[in-house]
């Protein structure tokens, strides 16, 4: 027979100790107990999930994920554990996909359950009032938002922006001629002007303009609040149930929200007043305002929706063009080979045009390689989230998991891309894989694939083909006459990662291109008048 004596003794000791503790210590103990029980109950689920590094109770793998460039660690884990890796951020399961096949199998073939987004409490809910569709979960509000953008940027509609893109690119070519040192500002201005013109029917002459600065400030703030672990409320959303006056984390983002609304409503009102006097060119905002009854959106919803290219289309396009400059410095033979192709097809009496694209296979392959070699949307853009339990190749993926298609790793998968660190456009000419011939991988997956993909690809072709035609991109020379080559891995941190600013020389290839650029610039200036 077992005696109850020791157990009763232990209980009585515990009761005495318990009474001696402060209220805070008791609460802490209870929270620890509850979390441990939760952790033990989750043990079996975790065991069935994809392999991954061992985490700690409560925090999961948070301490193992670097704050800077986490995609590099993710890629290492994919190498170590396989194409599908699981981790935990606190109690949230996180799945990292390290090959294109795994990403296509899940994010595309099972897109009915892999098309949501994780919850963004501060950035999506408090700062943006659920109006920024990029962060919206899968559902009716996202569908409504996406429909407007799809109608503005689907493949055929995007054809109609080619004239504008060609004219803006001619301006950029002239700027590269006159102030080549500022090449980064010129590509940023190009990307900003195209995004603003197709959205608000107004172009941008300088990146110092008010509208660009305000937008950049808004985007910088949005990025700054989207850092995992920065806000307790992201891990403990129940804090939103506290009385509003006690929600200390609200004040700053709510102030920024008011500023964002003022900016976005001002831009919408400006288009409306130009619509009233008939002076605004056709653009996303005019189309959306005209279809207001059909799309059932309030003015504020329209203001946020049409601003999407502003947030998603400028840094990505300019960053990818920056990667092109970086690649040409490191692979001058590739540059010369592409120039030789352009020279034969186009000659020097005129610039490349969109119609030349089918006859420039090496240039097209080079553009794909730019997008592959250093994808700007390193983590696949914004992560996806799963809305139902799933099993993939025997591994359990629980509902509510955050899923990253880790493009930085996927694009350097040596099975799909042999010698992945080498910039080699030929890989896209030699392949028989239709998914590489029609290379949409840099633009994400399934129902959430980049809305602006066609617009972006047109920008890349027209600018890259023209720069190759007109200029040699050469290393900068320091004060001792030595060449300075930028580090090919020196990239910024953040959801989008672009090369850290660097210098290079942009030299015209001959006098004929100079004449053509100056001539085309004069014509472009006239045509662009209607976007002022």
Q: What distances in angstroms separate CA 379 from CA 80, 147, 185, 408, 409, one per listed residue?
A: 18, 25, 25, 6, 9
Q: In the numeric block, which tokens belong to residue 179?
A: 């102030």
382 binds ligand HEM (CB under 6 A): yes
Phi-psi region of 2 (alpha: psi -120 to 50; beta: other; left: phi over 0): beta
Contact 371, 324 (CB under 8 A): no
- Asked if 124 is part of the footprint of ligand HEM (rule: CB under 6 A), the reply reads no
Among 190, 443, 461, 469, binds ligand HEM (CB under 6 A): 443
Closest contact distance (angstroms) between CB of 519 and ligand HEM is 29
As measured in angstroms, the least distance from the Cβ of 288 to ligand HEM is 13
Q: Which is nearer to ligand HEM, 456 or 467 (CB)?
A: 456
Q: What are 501's two structure tokens?
A: 């600013």
C-alpha distances in angstroms, 107 versus 120, 256, 340, 523?
20, 33, 40, 46
By DSSP bridging, strand 471-477 and strand 483-484 are antiparallel
Q: Which stretch binds ligand HEM (CB under 6 A): 30-38, 323-331, 387-395, 445-453?
A: 445-453
Half-sphere exposure of 139 (CA within 13 A, CB side): 10
- Contact positions with ligand HEM (CB under 6 A) in 310-349: 312-313, 316-317, 320
Site string for ligand HEM, 269-308 (x = CB under 6 A): ---------------------------------------x
Binding mask 131-160 for ligand HEM (x = CB under 6 A): --xx-----------x--x---x-------
Cα–Cα dist 262/300, whole Å: 10
50: contact with ligand HEM by CB under 6 A = no
Q: Are 345 and 359 spatial neighbours (Cβ–Cβ below 8 Å)?
A: yes
Question: Is 402 a binder of ligand HEM (CB under 6 A)?
Answer: no
Of the residues 442, 463, 521, 528, which one makes contact with ligand HEM according to CB under 6 A: 442
Residue 191 or 468 with smaller CB distance to ligand HEM: 191
Task: Tell the smallest beta-carbon distance from residue 117 to ligand HEM (Å).
Answer: 7
> Could you say whether residue 201 binds ligand HEM (CB under 6 A)?
no
**Two tokens, residue 31:** 């929270």
Least distance to ligand HEM from the beta carbon of 65, Å? 20
Q: Which of 380, 398, 425, 486 binds ligand HEM (CB under 6 A)?
A: 380
Give the contacts of 495 (CB within 8 A, at least 6 positions apart): 223, 226, 377, 378, 379, 381, 382
Is 32 marked as a binding-site residue? no
Is 486 near ligand HEM (CB under 6 A)?
A: no
Closest CA to 305 of 291, 285, 323: 285
Count residues near ligand HEM (CB under 6 A): 28
Cα–Cα dist 164/195, whole Å: 11
Q: Taking the complex as a whole, how short is the minimal distance between the CB of residue 446 and ligand HEM, in angstroms? A: 7
Task: Tally Cβ neighbours within 10 Å of residue 417.
Answer: 21
Cβ-contact 164, 198 below 8 angstroms: yes
If the CB atoms of residues 288 and 382 are measured against ligand HEM, the closer one turns out to be 382
Decide: is 470 part of the binding site for ligand HEM (CB under 6 A): no
Task: Yes or no: say if 498 and 315 are a contact pair by the CB < 8 Å rule.
Answer: yes
**Which 3-state string (H, E, C) describes 383-422?**
CEECCCCEEECCEEECCCCEEEECHHHHCCCCCCCCCCCC
Residue with smaller CB distance to ligand HEM, 142 or 231 = 142
Q: Would you list which residues are annotated within the binding site for heme?
A: 450
Q: Would you list which residues are annotated within the binding site?
A: 450
User: Residue numbers of the site for ligand HEM (CB under 6 A)?
Assistant: 133-134, 146, 149, 153, 308-309, 312-313, 316-317, 320, 376-377, 380-382, 442-445, 448-452, 455-456
């Amino acid at each position: 027979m077992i005696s109850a004596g020791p157990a009763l003794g232990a209980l009585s000791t515990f009761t005495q100790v318990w009474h001696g503790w402060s209220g805070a210590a008791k609460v802490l103990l209870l929270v620890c107990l509850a979390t441990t029980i939760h952790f033990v109950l989750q043990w079996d689920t975790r065991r069935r999930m994809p392999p991954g590094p061992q985490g700690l109770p409560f925090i999961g793998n948070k301490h193992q994920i670097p704050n800077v460039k986490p995609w590099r660690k993710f890629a290492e884990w994919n190498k170590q554990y396989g194409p599908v890796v699981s981790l935990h951020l606190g109690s949230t399961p996180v799945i990292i996909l390290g090959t294109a096949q795994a990403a296509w199998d899940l994010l595309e073939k099972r897109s009915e359950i892999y098309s949501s987004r994780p919850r963004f409490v501060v950035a999506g809910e408090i700062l943006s009032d659920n109006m920024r569709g990029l962060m919206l979960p899968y559902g009716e509000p996202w569908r409504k938002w996406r429909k407007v953008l799809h109608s503005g940027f689907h493949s055929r509609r995007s054809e109609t922006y080619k004239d504008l893109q060609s004219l803006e690119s001619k301006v950029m070519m002239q700027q590269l001629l006159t102030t080549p040192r500022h090449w980064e500002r010129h590509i940023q201005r190009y990307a900003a002007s195209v995004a603003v013109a197709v959205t608000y029917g107004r172009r941008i002459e300088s990146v110092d303009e008010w509208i660009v600065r305000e937008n950049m400030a808004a985007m910088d703030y949005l990025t700054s609040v989207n850092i995992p672990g920065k806000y307790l409320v992201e891990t403990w959303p129940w804090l939103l149930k506290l009385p509003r006056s006690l929600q200390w984390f609200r004040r700053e983002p709510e102030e920024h929200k008011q500023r964002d609304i003022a900016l976005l409503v001002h831009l919408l009102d400006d288009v409306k007043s130009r619509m009233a006097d008939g002076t605004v060119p056709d653009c996303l905002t005019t189309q959306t305002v005209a279809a207001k009854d059909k799309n059932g959106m309030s003015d504020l919803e329209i203001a946020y929706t049409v601003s999407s290219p502003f947030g998603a289309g400028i840094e990505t396009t300019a960053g990818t063009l920056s990667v092109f400059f970086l690649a040409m410095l490191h692979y001058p033979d590739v540059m010369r080979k592409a120039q030789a192709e352009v020279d034969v097809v186009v000659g020097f009496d005129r610039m490349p045009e969109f119609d030349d694209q089918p006859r420039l296979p090496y240039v097209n392959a080079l553009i794909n390689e730019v997008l592959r070699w250093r994808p700007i949307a390193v983590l696949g853009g914004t992560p996806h989230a799963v809305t139902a339990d799933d099993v993939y190749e025997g591994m359990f993926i629980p509902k509510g998991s955050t899923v990253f298609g880790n493009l930085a790793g996927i694009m350097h998968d040596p099975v799909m891309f042999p010698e992945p660190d080498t910039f080699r456009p030929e890989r896209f000419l030699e392949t028989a894989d239709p998914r590489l011939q029609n290379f949409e991988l840099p633009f994400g997956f399934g129902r959430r694939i980049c809305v602006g993909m066609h617009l972006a690809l047109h920008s890349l072709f027209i600018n890259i083909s023209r720069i190759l035609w007109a200029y040699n991109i050469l290393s900068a020379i320091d004060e001792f006459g030595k060449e300075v080559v930028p580090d090919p891995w020196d990239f910024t941190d953040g959801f989008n990662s672009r090369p850290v600013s660097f210098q290079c020389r942009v030299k015209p290839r001959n006098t004929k291109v100079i004449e053509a650029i100056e001539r085309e610039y004069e014509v472009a200036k006239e045509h662009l008048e209607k976007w002022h």
